[in-house]
Chains A and B, each alone.
Chain A
Amino acid sequence: MPIALSSSETVEHNGLEQLYRDHHGWLQSLLQRKLGDVQHAADLAQDAFMAFMRPRTATVAPGGLREPRAYLRAVAHGLLVDHFRRQTLERAYLEALAHQPEPLACSPEDRHMVLQALQRIDKMLDALGARAREVFLLSQLECLTYDDIARRMNISVRTVKRDMQSGFALCIAAMM
């Protein structure tokens, strides 16, 4: 979701320090409640404040930052969603590794790299429907042909192509 913000002027005006003093407490305890983890909550709260400072790609500014509380809540919510999705994926990854017939001989660095690649792909495919996602993954990760996929999923080759088109378009746009 595009988030409304116009930070620089208001932040400069109020001073980030003041903002931090006013809002850090409740934000961190909100995150702590949702995460049940002090360290993570502290990290995420920090990230939420950093989001004020970062020059944004899309700065939509209805009302500017007169409601820092509402805005911080929105940012923190987005960070939480991201956090949970990363966590879900990491768990799925460890599970998949554990079920390998022959443990892959790979270093922690390799594993980290793979996990990061998976996270990027996962995020790019987020907007894709369940079927299109499966089609795309079967084609790109299992290297099945469009005919194979159509047969396996009992759909037409045309549908496969359409799903692939959507998947590629999403990924390419994200990588541009």
Chain B
Amino acid sequence: MHRGNDVNAHAREDTQRTLLAQEAAHWMVLQHAGELDESHLRALKLWRDRSPEHERAWQAAQELRLLLAQVPQDVGLKTLSAAGRARRQAVRGVLTATLATPLAWWMWHTIGREWAAEYRTAVGERRTETLADGSRIWLNTGSAVNVRFTATERALELVAGEVLVETVHSDLPLPPLEVVVNAGRVRALGTRFLVRELREARWRVAVLQHAVRIRPARSDASQAVELHAGMQTDFDAHRAGGTRAADDNAAAWRDGVLVARDMRLVDLTAEIARYRRGFLGCAPEVANLRISGVFQLDDTDRTLRALAESLSLAIRERTRYWVTLTARSQGT
């Protein structure tokens, strides 16, 4: 969990930078349009004085001017327009493939082209993508998927985290779609399913619709396991474990919530911890408390406060990144 504690900080910095840049841009546009009057100038001065970051944004705008001034007019415009055009033409093919229906993708790939993409989410982030064959994927927090479509395979390499896959029916003879992990392959049999990393080289598959076939990397084909809707199983490189009923709400994260049904606090905090930086745990004396509820994933601080409130727990923060839920001590 300690990995990339600074990512949130970076995300915040990015957001702040974007906002300041937008405000500075606004001043630049006013200035350019010749609409900066006396009152504007005073407001601009106040804006710049608001913080060193505000001033830095303004200075960046001035440096931009200097940079642009280095470029001789005519040559600059010609070069940058031509380069932009060339690139748009180069990517047009790729774009078509990206937005395409399975048919377009089929045509694309029969003329010998491949399609590849990489998707990442930071901790606490989720995203959804439509792939070249029309399938959709949802990436949960802290996940990485490399997509590789060729004439012989449609592989989603799940490097880390969790992915929900929804395939679309196609009459075309497309190669099988598989989620590939370091412990094996999960082949979609016209379906919606989840693959999630439990720990190093151990994965959980839950099927929401139709079926998948799981093939651990170090097993032979006869040991492949077929898993049907409503069931889940864990597997490593050697074997898939027993199957059991899948949690109905396993994919609730897609909608930004976590649904707990009679869940132990220790399991719930472990689950919430996936969506935030740093350590989150609970004290042994409260670990076995049972909780049911729907929890928001986007603001886990708030979720924790609500949780502590309803269970009369204390939130102990040693640092922002080391949070423990404990029993409330007497008198507090």
**A residues touching B (Cβ–Cβ < 8 Å)?**
1-4, 6, 57-64, 66-67, 70, 73-74, 77, 84-85, 88-89, 92-93, 95-97, 99-100, 104, 113-114, 117-118, 120-122, 125, 130, 133-134, 137-143, 146, 161, 164-173, 175-176
Contacts and interface: CB of A to CB of B under 8 A. Distances in A.
B77 A171 contact: no
Contacts of B73: 141-143
A61 B56 CA distance: 30
A4 B160 contact: yes
A89 B67 contact: no
A117 B67 CA distance: 6
A62 B29 contact: no
Nearest to A146: B33
A164 B25 CA distance: 8
The 7 closest A-B pairs by CB, nearest first: A63-B160, A168-B25, A173-B21, A62-B160, A96-B78, A92-B82, A169-B25
Given A137-B80, A172-B64, A70 B29 contact: no
Interface in B11-36: 17-18, 20-22, 24-26, 28-29, 32-33
A93 B79 contact: yes
A18 to B, nearest CB: 19
Contact of A172 (B60, B159, B182): B60
Contact of B118 (A1, A61, A120, A172): A1
A100 B74 contact: yes
Interface stretch (B139-147, B168-176, B253-261, B281-289): B139-147
Contacts, number: 190
Interface string B299-331: 000000000000000000000000000000000
B111 interface: no
Interface in B232-248: none
A121 B197 CA distance: 41
Contacts of A172: 20-21, 24-25, 28, 57, 60-61, 64
B294 interface: no
**Of listed A97, A104, A117, residue having the most chain B CB within 10 A:** A117
A58 B7 contact: yes
